[in-house]
Structure 1
Amino acid sequence: MGAQTIYYTADQFPLIGKTSEETETRYERLPAYLKDICRPPVWNLGKNTSGLAVRFRSNSTSISAKWEASGNNQMNHMTETGIKGLDLYTWIGDHWQPVKAALPSGKKNEQTIISNMIPSEREYLLYLPLYDGIVSLEIGIDS
């Protein structure tokens, strides 16, 4: 019988790619003090999580994610994966290697990104959606 997945809120892991911690929510890029001086379209783009990633280590045989997109955006010229999916990378030797994308199914999502791995300590980056924001994010590993 396989191990059960236990989810941990991503708030406890480092978030990289932010220029300031003074944002309205954790998963935004622009500092809150810019809200009144930015044009609304610029401010709204700052709520997208493009360029933000959660960094963590695990020896789990599988990595899963639960996440809720803030806007459930859709575009005619881009796939749902690019808009509100997640991208998992792992550190191999001297570079970040793509592992797999977590495919969204709507506003609320849950997916096993990769499974059946050899239990070995690895470092990961989980990149957040390009053209949507995140309300919540949990990372699942073996119990």
Structure 2
Amino acid sequence: MRTKYLLIIVGLLSSLSGIKAQQVIPSSKLTIQGRAFTENLGFHRIDTTKYENLPPAVKKLFTHSAGLFVTFRTNSAKLSIDWETADAALANNSTPIMSRGFDAYVKESDGWRFAGVARPNLKNVASRFTIVENMEKTEKEFLLYFPLYKELRSFQLHIDEHATFFPTVQQFDKKIIVYGSSIVHGASASRPGLAYPAKISRGINADVINMGVSGNAKMELGVAQMINDIQDVDLIVLDCVPNCSPQQVTERTFAFVQELRKAHPHTPILLIESIIRQIGNYNLEWKKKRHEQNINFKAEYERLLAAGYKNLFYLPADHLIGDDYEGTVDGTHPTDVGFERMVKIIQPEIEQILKR
């Protein structure tokens, strides 16, 4: 029996001796990027107590950390993270990594290259995961995207004990606001960095602010008033048709753009039709609704032009997620393939608008 206990103790000591000491980097050492306002908001996208006119559901969704990220340089051979979200629940059309996890990129000469992910604990709000290890001990700049569909409560990084660490802040060429539905929010990308606002941000070096509010992008004037407080905006993208009824599209589009023009009189505004939802391939009610949404949206765009509004641009839904019916996870929300197809159409349009 004594021999057995001695063997157990020796085994424990051996395993402990293999654990390397690490530095803990608290989130307070990093600059949260990817949001519209500079106030210290924790990991929320906006100060939800400041904008009383926002619907309660919209306020809650703006506590999600969609589109937020940090950047830093380190020569650590290993990068780990522990974090906590408000809850551990998952939607039935999303991946845990997209909803509650992180993904990391490393800056190379030709842009950002994917490095690894942090997979969340499926049962607990607290998680810990090694994003990437066994790297060369050369200094690299990392970009770390936050969870898309949860309120992030806390996080801290772990790097090698003697590794260097320098927080960085990205310098962008333009600032773009993207207001929209769950598709903007990021459903159903496989990981945070593959939501289409994030992909466009990396593609054109723009500060693309994710204002997706899943299921609740209904063009309330309170949202336009909140957007009006955002400074130095180069482009506003409205990808909100999927959440509006055809009647709401008619009733709210003109007033929403009119409100935006109070603070952004010359800022280009790109209006994007609802994607052609594949759930409507055989569901005639869905097909009819989507058709009416886009018809009404185009009519309101033309009414705005007739009223003398300038710098308005319109993008039809044709081919946005492809024509082979393989671009969504559930007939509505794009897969990574669907998002890539959207980016190939939306990004060139954005680049042309910004050139003008």
* 1:114 to 1:50, Cα distance in 2 relative to 1, 3 A: same
Distance apart, 1:122 and its partner CA: 0.5
Query: Aligned equivalents of 1:61 and 1:98: distance in 2?
Result: 16
Richer in strand (by share): 1
Partner in structure 2 of residue 138 of structure 1: 156
Partner in structure 2 of residue 128 of structure 1: 146
Amino acid at match of 2:156: E
Q: Say yes or no: does 1:97 pair with 2:137.
A: no
Amino acid at match of 2:21: Q
Q: How many percent identity over aligned positions? A: 28
Q: Say yes or no: does 1:53 pair with 2:62.
A: no
Distance apart, 1:100 and its partner CA: 0.9
Partner in structure 2 of residue 11 of structure 1: 28
RMSD value, Cα = 1.5
The range that moved more, 60-69 or 1-10, is 1-10
Give the one of 130, 137, 142 matched to 1:112: 130
Distance apart, 1:7 and its partner CA: 1.4
Query: Aligned equivalents of 1:72 and 1:11: distance in 2?
Result: 24
- Cα deviation 1:45-97 (Å, max 9, x = unaligned): 10010100011110000000010012323111111111100011110113111
TM-score by length of 2: 0.38
Give the count of matched residue pairs: 141
Q: State the structure with bigger RCO (CA 8 A, min sep 6), 1 or 2.
A: 1
Q: Which runs of 4+ in 1 moved over 6 A?
A: none
Partner in structure 1 of residue 46 of structure 2: 30
Richer in helix (by share): 2
TM-score by length of 1: 0.92
Partner in structure 1 of residue 172 of structure 2: none
Query: Aligned equivalents of 1:2 and 1:114: distance in 2?
Result: 16
Q: Say yes or no: does 1:83 pair with 2:99.
A: yes
SS of the counterpart of 1:81?
helix
Query: Aligned equivalents of 2:110 and 2:50: distance in 1?
Result: 38
Amino acid at match of 1:132: K
Query: Aligned equivalents of 1:70 and 1:21: distance in 2?
Result: 23
Distance apart, 1:21 and its partner CA: 3.0
Query: Aligned equivalents of 1:19 and 1:55: distance in 2?
Result: 17
Amino acid at match of 1:72: A
Distance apart, 1:104 and its partner CA: 0.2
SS of the counterpart of 1:14?
coil
Distance apart, 1:2 and its partner CA: 6.7
**Structure 1, gaps ≥5 residues long:** none
Contact 1:64 1:139 in 2 (8 A): yes
Distance apart, 1:15 and its partner CA: 1.2
